[in-house]
């Protein structure tokens, strides 16, 4: 099948969903109020709370959620065939991700920009808040460890891309200073910064940056040294005011995202490449079952609990007008779905020219998982050749895209981890830690650093298996909070309840399947670390579901005695 047919069909579905379904959510489910004073104005502090133009907030949210995961997940999941992967990406984006991201943003804005974990205490129960914070803590620790390892791997294997990535930081700071001091729009300086970044690619080809020599001098591998440097950078980046680095970097990287998507989409159209992978693949008998594992392998790109942390952690503190929540929340999730769609096409139509070549790449699930990022890079580079771009240059471009997205998500995730640590410290009455940004930031870096430095491919290989499940479980729990709030607000919660129920069932099922795999594994890390962790998360999840169900039942009972026309309590 021509890849352009799949592309056009999926794009039409996403566009119609934003036009009509998100409008329904905005009016009937979340009842957006443009006159509501957002926390960005109420608590403006120039560091975290800053009223910001909706296009810049969109850039921050879009790039923060569209990291490496919507590339790795779909690039792995096409092992089962492109049909199931495409189905979940499109339907999941429309009916789960958009509802989830949009809803988490709105309820956070309505509740002083509190995080989804804190909101659980007010909307469900204080006990549920503790359970949810623990699950979120596990999730963000895994996100930070995995993304740091992804970046380190790409830096090591693509040293030509290091210089353009490094230059993004000073250029972003320059853009932030210019926009903040001059009170000017960001598009012109951001475009200039992006042009300079891409002009540095040929220099990076001539002068690739490697850490082989300094790493050898101190007795460690280059990848390990990269991981240490990456986390050192995030420690400082997560403490800077959002306008100084986070917002301008996100804006620049959003332009890179648009450029990358344009290269892929136009490359598919011009090259008229065919999908050579099977719609449903006949996988080896010992392969993991696609049902339910497909729905946790493709986490980001269909629906992702990490998004609720971004919506309620950083984005809600920057929203200038509540009406912007539809544009920022729903459309950004659609953009991530588009990235996941492009990953599917790159790994089924771009990376191989024949079915035989494709089968040699996707021989088994482990091979598919290990090669996912490389397959995406090669596929994008192929689409770039359709536009006359040399393969080598296209490979660097694709690597730069993946690294930039992963690094931006990592910056945001470390900042979120600091928030979570401070919340937990406040909850257990460790006031010095709760109020000390330096100490909280240090822990936010130290914990995932320890995971990332574990031997072998633990972070990116072994831990990734549990990341997707925990991520989707977090999405289901966030939807539970949103559903109870919508019910208490005297509006129809059906649009939230359906994806909530689906995610809870699929993720709980996947946790059971994975627990069986971990327990029977010959790998001690899986048997003695991941299996108990899987069990703990499963118990926490069931407990949280029970708490949410009780809260929803109580809210529904209260609603039956409320006048349908009663105004919402804010």
Helix ranges (H only) for 17-79 are: 22-24, 39-42, 54-65, 69-77
Give the DSSP H/E element, type plus range, for residue 116: helix 116-123
Average pLDDT over residues 377-402: 93
Residue 565 has what pLDDT? 44
Q: Is residue 77 part of a domain?
A: yes
pLDDT tens digits along 7-66: 999 999 999 999 999 999 999 999 999 999 999 999 998 878 999 999 889 988 988 888
The confidence score (pLDDT) of residue 419 equals 84
What is the reported pLDDT for 462? 65
Residue 565 lies in a domain: no
| pLDDT band at residue 466 using 50, 70 and 90 as cut-offs | confident
Residues in CB range of 522: below 8 A, 6 or more apart: none
CA angle 446/108/539 to nearest 5° reads 60
Provide the pLDDT for residue 28.
96
**90, part of any domain:** yes
pLDDT, mean of residues 469-473:
85
Among 85-89, 302-306, 410-414, the least confident range: 410-414
Res 299 pLDDT > 70: yes
CB of 334 closer than 8 Å to CB of 127: no
Q: Is the pLDDT of residue 349 over 90?
A: yes
Task: Give the confidence band of 561 by pLDDT, cuts at 50, 70, 90.
Answer: low
pLDDT score, position 67 = 74
Task: Say which residue, 64 or 93, is predicted with more confidence.
Answer: 93
In a domain, 485, yes or no: yes
How many residues belong to the chain?
Answer: 570
Q: Is residue 570 part of a domain?
A: no
Question: Quick check: is 564 in a domain?
Answer: no
HEC secondary structure over 151-185: HHHHHHHCHHHHHHHHHHHHHHHHHHHHHHHHCCC
pLDDT band at 240 (very low <50, low <70, confident <90, very high): confident
What do you get for the CA distance between the two ends of the chain, in Å? 51
φ and ψ at 52, to 5 degrees?
Answer: -135, 145
In this structure, what are the phi and psi dihedrals at residue 124, rounded to the nearest 5 degrees? -110, -90
Query: In which band, very low, low, confident or very high, does the pLDDT at 203 lie, cut at 50, 70 and 90?
Result: very high
Residues of the chain with pLDDT > 70: what percent?
A: 96
> In the prediction, which pLDDT does 83 show?
97
Do 568 and 489 meet the contact criterion of CB atoms below 8 Å apart? yes
Q: What is the CATH number of the domain that holds 409?
A: 1.10.4160
pLDDT score of 98? 96
Q: State residue 274 phi and psi, 5-degree precision.
A: -100, 145
Q: Which of 345, 243, 303, 343 is nearest to 91 (CA)?
A: 303
The rounded distance, in Å, linking the Cα atoms of 313 and 415 is 9
* DSSP 8-class letter at 67: S
pTM to 2 decimal places: 0.89
CA angle 98, 318, 181 (to 5 degrees): 140
User: Using one digit for the tens of pLDDT, what is the confidence trace for 132-181?
Assistant: 888 888 888 888 888 898 899 889 988 999 999 999 999 999 998 988 88
β-pair partners for 319 = 52
The C-alpha angle with vertex 363 and arms to 357 and 364, in degrees rounded to 5, equals 155
Rounded distance, CA 347 to CA 367, Å? 13
Calpha distance 406→308 (Å, rounded)? 18
Query: What confidence category does residue 563 fall into, taking pLDDT thresholds of 50, 70 and 90?
Result: very low
- Does the pLDDT of residue 570 top 50, yes or no? no
User: Which segment of 120-129, 460-469, 528-537 scores lowest on mean pLDDT?
Assistant: 460-469
Total domains present in the chain: 1
CA distance 376 to 343: 6
- In the predicted structure, residue 569 carries a pLDDT above the cut 80: no
Residue 319 DSSP SS3: strand
Task: Determine, yes or no, domain membership for 567.
Answer: no
Beta bridge mates, 2: 274
Domain residue limits at 281 = 3-559
- Identify whether the C-beta of residue 62 lies closer than 8 Å to the C-beta of residue 257: yes
Q: What is the mean pLDDT of residues 184-211?
A: 90
User: pLDDT per residue over 509-548, tens digit each?
Assistant: 999 998 998 899 888 878 888 899 889 888 878 887 888 8
What is the spatial distance between Cα 520 and Cα 25, in angstroms, rounded to a whole number? 45
Six token digits for residue 72: 């790795």
Q: Is the pLDDT of residue 267 over 70?
A: yes
pLDDT of residue 464: 67
Least confident of 86-95, 246-255, 372-381: 246-255
Res 136: pLDDT: 83
The residue among 404 and 183 whose pLDDT is bigger is 404
């Amino acid at each position: 099948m021509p890849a352009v047919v799949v592309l056009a069909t999926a794009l039409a579905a996403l566009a119609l969903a934003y036009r009509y379904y998100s409008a329904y959510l905005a009016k009937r489910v979340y009842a957006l109020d443009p006159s509501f004073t957002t926390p960005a104005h109420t608590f403006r502090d120039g560091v975290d709370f800053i009223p910001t133009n909706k296009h810049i907030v969109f850039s921050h949210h879009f790039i923060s959620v569209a990291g490496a995961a919507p590339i790795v997940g779909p690039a792995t999941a096409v092992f089962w065939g492109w049909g199931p992967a495409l189905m979940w990406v499109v339907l999941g984006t429309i009916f789960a991700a958009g509802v989830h991201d949009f809803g988490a943003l709105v309820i956070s804005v309505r509740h002083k920009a509190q995080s989804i974990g804190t909101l659980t205490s007010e909307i469900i129960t204080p006990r549920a808040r503790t359970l949810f914070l623990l699950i979120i803590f596990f999730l963000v620790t895994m996100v930070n460890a995995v993304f740091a390892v992804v970046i380190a791997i790409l830096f090591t294997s693509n040293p030509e891309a290091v210089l353009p990535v490094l230059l993004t930081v000073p250029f972003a700071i320059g853009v932030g200073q210019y926009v903040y001091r001059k009170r000017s729009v960001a598009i012109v300086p951001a475009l200039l910064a992006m042009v300079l970044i891409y002009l540095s690619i040929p220099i990076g080809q001539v002068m690739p940056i490697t850490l082989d020599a300094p790493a050898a001098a101190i007795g460690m591998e280059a990848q390990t040294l990269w991981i240490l440097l990456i986390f050192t950078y995030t420690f400082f980046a997560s403490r800077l005011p959002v306008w100084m680095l986070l917002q301008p970097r996100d804006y620049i990287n959003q332009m890179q995202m648009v450029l990358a998507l344009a290269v892929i989409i136009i490359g598919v159209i011009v090259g008229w490449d065919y999908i050579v992978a099977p719609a449903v693949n006949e996988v080896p008998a010992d392969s993991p079952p696609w049902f339910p594992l497909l729905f946790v392998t493709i986490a980001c790109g269909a629906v992702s609990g990490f998004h609720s942390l971004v919506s309620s952690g950083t984005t809600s503190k920057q929203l200038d007008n509540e009406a912007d929540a539809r544009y920022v929340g729903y459309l950004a999730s659609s953009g991530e779905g588009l990235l996941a769609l492009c990953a599917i096409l790159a790994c089924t139509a771009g990376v191989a020219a024949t079915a035989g070549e494709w089968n040699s790449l996707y021989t088994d699930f482990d091979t598919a998982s290990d090669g996912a990022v490389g397959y995406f890079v090669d596929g994008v580079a192929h689409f770039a050749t359709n536009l006359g771009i040399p393969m080598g240059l296209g490979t660097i471009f694709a690597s730069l895209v993946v690294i930039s997205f992963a690094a931006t998500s990592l910056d945001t995730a470390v900042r979120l981890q600091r928030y979570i640590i401070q919340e937990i410290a406040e909850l257990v009455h460790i006031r010095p830690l709760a109020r000390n940004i330096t100490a909280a930031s240090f822990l936010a870096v130290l914990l995932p650093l320890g995971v990332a430095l574990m031997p072998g491919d633990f972070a990116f290989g072994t831990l990734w298996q549990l990341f997707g499940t925990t991520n989707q479980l977090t999405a289901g729990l966030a939807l539970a909070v949103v559903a109870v709030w919508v019910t208490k607000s005297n509006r129809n919660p059906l649009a939230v309840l359906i994806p909530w129920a689906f995610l809870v069932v699929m993720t709980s099922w996947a946790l059971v399947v994975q627990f069986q795999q971990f327990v029977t594994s010959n790998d001690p890390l899986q048997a003695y670390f991941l299996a108990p962790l899987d069990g703990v998360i499963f118990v926490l999840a069931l407990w949280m579901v029970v708490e949410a169900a009780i809260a929803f039942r109580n809210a529904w009972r209260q609603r039956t005695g409320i006048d349908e026309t009663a105004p919402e309590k804010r």
